[in-house]
Structure 1
Amino acid sequence: MKVTIDRDTCIGCGVCASICPDVFEIDDEGKAKALVAETDLECAKEAAESCPTGSITVE
């Protein structure tokens, strides 16, 4: 699955990093960052569904 983050809409709440820390982290700018471009971890989908701004896409 390909992981992308729209950094323009990300508010850096950290939900993604708390749900799936192997895929997401909050960077120095306070925005979510994908640690990997692709993953097979189901938690990436859960993080995308839990994102309050819909900034995460997992395809």
Structure 2
Amino acid sequence: MRIVLNRAKCTGIGICEAVAPDVFEVDDDGNLVVLSAEVPAGAEAEVTEAVEGCPAQALRLEP
């Protein structure tokens, strides 16, 4: 699966980083950085939770 970020929607709250810190990081400027465009093996549940928990709906998963 691939992680897709809509930067225009992202508010940089960081819920995704709290849920999946090995995949998402909010930088010093409040911008979300996707550390791995592909969902790492074993992190599917955390990444799915982060995507579903995004209040701005800025993240989605593609096959």
Greater radius of gyration (CA)? 2
Q: TM-score, normalised by structure 1?
A: 0.89
- Unaligned runs of 5+ residues in structure 2 are none
Which ranges of 4 or more aligned residues in structure 1 deviate by more than 3 Å? none
Which letter maps to 1:28? Answer: D
- The corresponding residue for 1:5 is 5
Mapped pair 1:23 → 2:23: yes
RMSD, aligned CA: 1.1
- Unaligned runs of 5+ residues in structure 1 are none
Which letter maps to 1:58? Answer: L
Percent identity (aligned): 39
Is the contact made by 1:16 and 1:50 (CA closer than 8 Å) also made in structure 2? Answer: yes
Q: TM-score, normalised by structure 2?
A: 0.84
Matched positions, count: 59
